Amino acid sequence: MPEAKIAPNLPGWMLDHTNRYLASGGTDGHMYKITQPGRPELTVPSLLLTTTGRKSGEKYIFPLFYGTTGNSYIIVASKGGAPEHPGWYRNILANPNVEVQVGTRKFAAKARTVTGDERSALWIKALEFWPPYADYALKTEREIPVVVLDPVD
């Protein structure tokens, strides 16, 4: 299996965060402290999602904030409210089999986009761990996908 690479074109803070997470084996970086202008400091749980590139077939690592639902993890394909979906989301549409690292725990998972009432309920949970998602939704015409990562191990 090819070695996973950090996704290209990540903003500097995400690249630094991912490198810290990987270098520490997940002991540093799982809980991420961030301050945005005009907002209080937040401490947000983050995971590393490894997808298979839909064009390249290469494995790419993306740092994402998350919440939980049962034994599964919730992630949001917001891309800060950009008009297009993030690359990691387009990758999981092509291949939903992913690898996840939460803190020091690594496992295989299957990604699924939720809809309807399940999406509505999980969107509310997502706003609890990352309130800026509400602002991102106002910036874009697309419905921001809510994804559940179901462990398969």
CATH code (residue 90): 2.30.110.10
Question: Is the model's pLDDT at 101 over the cut of 90?
Answer: yes
Q: Are 88 and 52 in contact (CB under 8 A)?
A: no
Reported as a single tens digit per residue, the pLDDT across 124-134 is 999 999 999 99
Give, in degrees to the nearest 5, the angle at Cα 84 between 37 and 87: 90
**Domain residue limits at 113:** 5-151
Q: Which candidate, 10, 36, 4, 8, places its Cα nearest to that of 101?
A: 4
Rounded distance between C-alpha atoms, residue 90 and residue 28, angstroms: 28
Reported as a single tens digit per residue, the pLDDT across 14-50 is 999 999 999 999 999 899 888 777 777 888 999 999 9
Whether the model pTM is above 0.75: yes
Question: Is the model's pLDDT at 146 over the cut of 60?
Answer: yes
Question: Is the model's pLDDT at 1 over the cut of 60?
Answer: no
Q: Is 12 helix (H, G, I), strand (E, B) or coil?
A: helix
Domain count, the chain: 1
